[in-house]
Structure 1
Amino acid sequence: MVRAVRGAIQVDGNDRESIITGTTELVTEVMERNRLTTDEVISVIFTATPDLTAEFPALAARKLGFHDVPLLCASEIGVPGALPRVVRLMAHIAVDRPRQEIHHVYLRGAVALRVDIAQ
Structure 2
Amino acid sequence: MIRGIRGAITIHVDNESQIIDSTEKLIRTMIAKNDIEAANVASVFISATSDIQTGFPAKALRKFPGWTYVPVMCMQEMDVEESLARCVRVMIHYNTNKSQEDIHHVYLEEAIKLRPDLIKHKTSN
Aligned to 2:114: 113
Q: Which residue of 2 aligns with 1:26?
A: 26
Task: Provide the alpha-carbon RMSD of the alignment.
Answer: 0.8
Q: What is the deviation of 1:21?
A: 0.6
Summarize deviations over 1:57-92 as a string: whole Å, max 9, x none. Answer: 110001123201000000011111111000001110
Q: In structure 2, what is the Cα distance between the partners aligned to 1:40 and 1:106?
A: 22
TM-score by length of 1: 0.97
Q: Distance in 1 between matches of 2:18 and 2:12?
A: 6
**What's the TM-score once normalised by structure 2's chain length?**
0.92
Counting aligned pairs with the same residue, the percent is: 37
Q: Matched residues in 2 for 1:30 and 1:91: separation?
A: 9
Cα offset, 1:99, TM superposition: 1.2
1:93 paired residue number: 94
Aligned twin of 2:63: 63
For residues 90 and 4 of structure 2, what CA distance do their matches in structure 1 show?
Answer: 10
Distance in 2, Cα, partners of 1:12 & 1:63: 21
Q: Which residue of 1 aligns with 2:44?
A: 44
Structure that is richer in helix per residue: 2
> Where does structure 1 differ by over 2 angstroms across 4 or more consecutive aligned residues?
none
Q: Which residue of 1 aligns with 2:105?
A: 104
Distance (whole Å) between structure 2 residues aligned to residue 54 and residue 64 of structure 1? 21
Q: In structure 2, what is the Cα distance between the partners aligned to 1:76 and 1:84?
A: 11
Shift of 1:43: 0.4
